[in-house]
Amino acid sequence: MKIFKLPDLGEGLQEAEIVEWHVAVGDEVKVDQPMVSVETAKALVDIPAPYAGRVARLFGSPGDIAHLGAPLVGFEGEGAQEESTTVVGRVESTGQVIAEQNIAPVPTAGIKATPAVRALARKLNVDLAMVTPTGADGLITAADVNRAARILAEVGPQEVLRGTRRFMAQSMTLAHAEVASATIMDDADVEVWPSGTRILLRLVRALIAAARAEPGLNAWYDSKTVGRHIIRKVDLGLAVDTPDGLFVPVLRNVDSMAPAQLASALQRLIAETQARRVPPEDLRGNTITLSNYGTIAGRYASPVVVPPTVAILGAGRVRDEAVARDRQVVVHRVLPLSLTFDHRCVTGGEAGRFLAAAIADLELPA
């Protein structure tokens, strides 16, 4: 049997969820014929047949997580011994193959519990890291474990995060562990905007103006070499909310687009993202990020910087607010802004000048 393994899907992705098989055992397939649809952290991907042949075995079912280099499809042909050396798992005396599960180890550092309590937690399937201790010196008691088990029984079974939400969890964990995050906030007075002004277009224009004023925020940071790459072009990552989770599609070279071209490109990008039709290459490689969360709710936020980028600009909901002009109180439309930056390579002064440049552009009438 010839074994076809899950190939490298790019961008350092190490796993994919099997969504749908397009072939069955016994089918004759042709080269480049779609065999299976998988969902990665980035997008839905169809994996084609690497060669023609008869399908002898499918490794995994819809909903299973396949890891990079793991067996995916077995084809009839030479190399029957290859299967025993590549299948991830263990073979019992019955000959049944038991797939290895991708289960993260339970953290135990700093957890105080007696062997009996740990055994009880295993029996009740309770993660001790989730239990609030009530014993002396932070000791977890049997009552603590039983209480946690009752709560878990009431809330129902755990939902395993998959696809985009799984990637979001991994990205946020990386960002929290690595980035020295800092956020500054301010308002742009947009009272001079004419009726019908498209907020997203103005935000993108302002971000471009700010990146020109302070290029150090349109950059990638390499924590291993403690170095940064300041990038001349602006490849904008735009946070888009969908029922499947948060996507950040990338619009390339926005700094060189004419207003009409930019408006059309943004509209297309958002529509394709919501329909899950964005190709994988358009979900990676942004140089800076914009989050227009104000279309939903909220004034200020602490948007999350995801490495290797070093900055994200967030915009809240436009509101009417009393402001002082010429020592008089007037009511103007105000756009709240929040800029999060990686303080490892961006100074507070640079971030402040970036935000000031964005505000200056937003406060122009057109």
Distance (Å, whole) CA 116 – CA 186? 55
Residue type, 85: T
Residue type, 261: Q
Tokens (6 digits) for 99? 């797939």
φ, ψ of residue 262 to 5 degrees: the values are -65, -45
What pLDDT is stored for residue 13 in this prediction?
A: 67
What pLDDT is stored for residue 363 in this prediction?
A: 96
Q: Which long-range contacts (CB under 8 A, 24 or more apart) does 76-80 make?
A: 76/1, 76/2, 77/1, 77/2, 77/53, 78/2, 79/1, 79/2, 79/3, 80/1
Contact 285, 237 (CB under 8 A): no
What pLDDT is stored for residue 11 in this prediction?
A: 57
Contact 299, 319 (CB under 8 A): yes
SS3 per residue for 124-189: HCCCHHHCCCCCHHHEECHHHHHHHHHHHHHHCCCCCCCHHHHHHHHHHHHHHHHCCEEEEEEEEE
- Phi/psi region, residue 170 (left: phi>0; alpha: psi -120 to 50; beta: rest), is alpha
Domains of the chain (ranges plus CATH)?
2-99 (2.40.50.100), 112-155 (4.10.320.10), 164-362 (3.30.559.10)
Q: Over the chain (366 residues), what is each successive 10-residue block's mean pLDDT?
A: 83 78 93 88 80 91 87 75 34 30 42 90 90 88 91 80 78 86 96 94 97 96 92 94 86 94 93 85 90 92 93 96 93 97 96 98 94
Contact 294, 317 (CB under 8 A): yes
